[in-house]
Amino acid sequence: MAESEESLDDLRVVSAPPEAAGERLDKWLAAELSDLSRTRVQALIDEGAVTLDGVEIKDAKHKVRAHGAYEIAVPPPLEAIPIPQSIPLDVLFEDEHLIVLNKPAGLSVHPGPGHADGTLVNALLHHCAGQLSGIGGVARPGIVHRLDMDTSGVMVAAKTDKAHQGLAKLFAKHDIERRYMALVRGGVRPRAGTIHTNIGRAGADRQRVKILPLGASQGKEAITHYETAEIYGAQAGAAAGSPAASLIHCTLETGRTHQIRAHLSHSGAPVLGDALYAGQGAFKPEGESDAVSAARDAVKQFSRQALHAALLGFVHPVTKKKRSFDAEPPADFQTLRAALSRLPVSAATGRRS
């Protein structure tokens, strides 16, 4: 006779108090088991992992029985396909539910073509080893939003299924505070306002998005609030009052792919260093001086888009506490900003704000 294999399932027993009688089983269990989302509970019910008096309950709408002892066999999470890798992380906050970090430029969030490993997911699998309760039954971090590989700044990832579901709902409802800093060529007119369009894929070019009229049948609504924080120098050959570059603060109401980069380019102020959306224009500060030459060199040497996710605020999906996290731009961004700030400002351009 073959030896029986020991089950590695996490067996949990939840007893129903009288006041729970008549509630939907999936809703009640999700409330009782704080680390499992309702979606995950429904999947476990479908798999026959929930029993009452030894009988499988296969209906998520089952009415809870008072004093019933419900057993839930939660299988161990499957290993994620990406391999854990020891990659340094700048962690701003971490608890048993989620992790907030300052992502460096050059680090891709997900494995993909050209970067099969060495990504944020690989780093989180290593950093959170033994802490991931399973997102949909798989031991992986819950990525609910992303930053482009060459964009730096604040990101959040879930460590539990419940946190993942909660964060996903916040992002879907746009109930997240997201503030970015962008160094752009020229400036936006008016100096503060809202850019409100649709954004869709640019045909066969899957790397780019394009601006579409608001309400178009294609694409999705995209809303960016912006204000000009600083202006630098004057732009040669442009109308009086046109800066050579600006620092723009952007607050996202929606979070579409490349939203800020596409919106600022559409408004005539593409992000410096942005190979996709900067167009054919050149950075042309007015005048000839050491400061102007240094600024030209700094822009030429900047090898990525000058965009930084400076602030992320949200209500913690489990503790329900309002949290806000910020991060200063990295050294390369600060160096470029410093070079631009030394550009002479003409009387027509006016003072930097």
- Mean pLDDT calculated for residue range 46-62: 90
With b for 16 or more beta-carbon neighbours within 10 A and e for fewer, the 76-114 pattern comes to ebeebebebeebebeebebeebbbbbbbbbebbbebeee
**Residue 10 in this model has a pLDDT that exceeds 60:** yes
Q: Is 148 a catalytic residue?
A: yes
Q: pLDDT category, 5, cuts 50, 70, 90?
A: very low
Q: pLDDT category, 153, cuts 50, 70, 90?
A: very high
With beta carbons less than 8 A apart as the criterion, state whether 241 and 186 touch: no
**Residue 272 in this model has a pLDDT that exceeds 70:** yes
Say what the pTM is.
Answer: 0.78
The model's pLDDT over 175-216, given as tens digits with 9 standing for 90+, comes to 999 999 999 999 999 999 999 999 988 766 667 899 999 988
Q: pLDDT category, 278, cuts 50, 70, 90?
A: confident
Q: What percent of the chain has pLDDT over 90?
A: 65
Q: pLDDT category, 344, cuts 50, 70, 90?
A: confident
Identify the pLDDT of residue 6. 41
Which of 148, 150, 161, 274 is the catalytic position?
148
Identify the pLDDT of residue 9. 63
**Residue 351 in this model has a pLDDT that exceeds 50:** no
The model's pLDDT over 218-256, given as tens digits with 9 standing for 90+, comes to 889 999 999 999 999 999 888 878 999 999 999 999 999
**Burial grade of 68 (CB within 10 A; 0-12, 13-18, 19 or more):** middle
Identify the pLDDT of residue 35. 76
More confident residue, 351 or 346: 346
Q: What rounded mean pLDDT belongs to the chain?
A: 89
- Mean pLDDT calculated for residue range 274-292: 88
Identify the pLDDT of residue 240. 79
The model's pLDDT over 94-116, given as tens digits with 9 standing for 90+, comes to 999 999 999 999 999 987 766 77
Q: What percent of the chain has pLDDT over 70?
A: 91
More confident residue, 53 or 6: 53
Q: pLDDT category, 352, cuts 50, 70, 90?
A: very low
The model's pLDDT over 66-99, given as tens digits with 9 standing for 90+, comes to 999 999 988 877 655 788 999 999 999 999 999 9
Q: What is the 3-state secondary structure (H, E, C) of 326-353?
A: ECCCCHHHHHHHHHHHCCCCCCCCCCCC
Structure tokens at 332: 């390369």
Structure tokens at 28: 């009640």
- Mean pLDDT calculated for residue range 150-173: 93
**Residue 162 in this model has a pLDDT that exceeds 70:** yes
